[in-house]
């Protein structure tokens, strides 16, 4: 029962993050006003606002104007639900640490969404993520300042050498991850898993002839997966 509750909360939070991300891209007010249809602008009914299930109840179409809804909405809501279950399962209690690590991963999810839709992230969001990671480390009471410093210097140097293929946001994210993860080995797992999955995805795009060698792939979602797997394995 408690897992179901966590799942629903996580899914609702992911749904809310998608709404904020959408509103920010449209330069609308973030919080004010009711949710409305992406296509015709009519206010959404209660049913259309239930995370994940709205997609199945409405058979993948908007209630007001019958346009096809994007599949990414229920998928990301499902991932949000799954994320909160996994974190609760791993941490085992609703403590300060649970809230901060949860906050870190949901903020990370938000940044991954931004990276997918615009290929860009806001510096302000990365600063928030950095402080979230720092708070988690302070609560856990273990610091690996050497690995954080080395990774930061290496990533930013790499960014300035290969400006076109490796963004500033990616460098900043890698240094944040080296702070968040407990040891350098754990961080290497994040990098190996993240870049491994990104290359597989790139290979898949090439194979499907949907991209070329120059196609840019958003790295944040892959590093998020890598970080989560590594956290679940080592925490
Ligand atoms: Zn509509």
CA of residue 63 to ligand 1 center, whole Å:
7
CA of residue 141 to ligand 1 center, whole Å:
50
Does the pLDDT at position 164 exceed 80? no
**DSSP string across the chain:** -HHHHHHHHHHHHHHHHHHHHHHHHTT--SSSS--B-TTT-PBPPTGGGSTTHHHHHTTTB-TTT-PBPPTHHHHHHHHHHHHHHHHHHHH-S-SHHHHHHHHHHHHHHHHHHHHHHHS---HHHHHHHHHHHHHHHHHHT---HHHHHHHHHHHHHHHHHSTTTS-HHHHHHHHHHHHHSSSHHHHHHHHHHHHHHHHHHHHHHHHTTS--TT-----HHHHHHHHHHHHHHH-
CA of residue 133 to ligand 1 center, whole Å:
40
Mean pLDDT value of segment 216-229: 91
CA of residue 188 to ligand 1 center, whole Å:
46
The predicted pLDDT at position 33 comes to 67
Mean pLDDT value of segment 155-176: 84
Which residues are bridge partners to 61 per DSSP? Answer: 68
Q: Which residues surround ligand 1, an ion (CB under 5 A)?
A: 37, 39-40, 62, 64-65
CA of residue 61 to ligand 1 center, whole Å:
9
Does the pLDDT at position 32 exceed 70? no
The predicted pLDDT at position 228 comes to 93
Mean pLDDT value of segment 98-111: 93
Give the global pTM: 0.88
Does the pLDDT at position 122 exceed 90? no
The predicted pLDDT at position 149 comes to 87
Q: Which residue has the tokens 């999955």?
A: 197
CA of residue 36 to ligand 1 center, whole Å:
8
Question: In the structure, what pLDDT confidence band is assigned to residue 71 with cuts at 50, 70 and 90?
Answer: confident
Mean pLDDT value of segment 1-15: 90
């Amino acid at each position: 029962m408690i897992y179901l509750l966590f799942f629903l909360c996580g899914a609702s939070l992911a749904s809310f993050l998608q709404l904020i991300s959408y509103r920010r891209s449209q330069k609308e007010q973030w919080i004010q006003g009711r949710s409305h249809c992406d296509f015709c602008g009519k206010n959404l009914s209660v049913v259309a606002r239930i995370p994940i299930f709205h997609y199945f109840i409405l058979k993948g179409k908007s209630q007001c104007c019958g346009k096809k809804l994007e599949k990414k909405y229920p998928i990301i809501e499902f991932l949000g639900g799954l994320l909160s279950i996994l974190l609760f399962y791993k941490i085992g209690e609703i403590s300060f640490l649970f809230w901060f690590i949860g906050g870190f991963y949901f903020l990370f999810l938000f940044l991954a969404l931004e990276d997918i839709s615009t290929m860009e992230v806001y510096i302000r969001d990365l600063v928030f993520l950095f402080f979230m990671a720092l708070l988690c480390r302070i609560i856990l009471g273990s610091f690996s300042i050497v690995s954080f410093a080395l990774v930061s210097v290496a990533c930013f140097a790499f960014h300035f050498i290969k400006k076109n293929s490796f963004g500033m946001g990616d460098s900043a994210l890698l240094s944040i991850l080296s702070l968040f993860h407990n040891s350098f080995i754990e961080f290497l797992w994040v990098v190996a898993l993240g870049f491994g999955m990104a290359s597989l995805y790139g290979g898949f795009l090439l194979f499907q002839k949907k991209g070329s060698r120059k196609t840019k792939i958003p790295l944040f979602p892959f590093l998020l997966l890598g970080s989560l797997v590594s956290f679940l394995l080592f925490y």
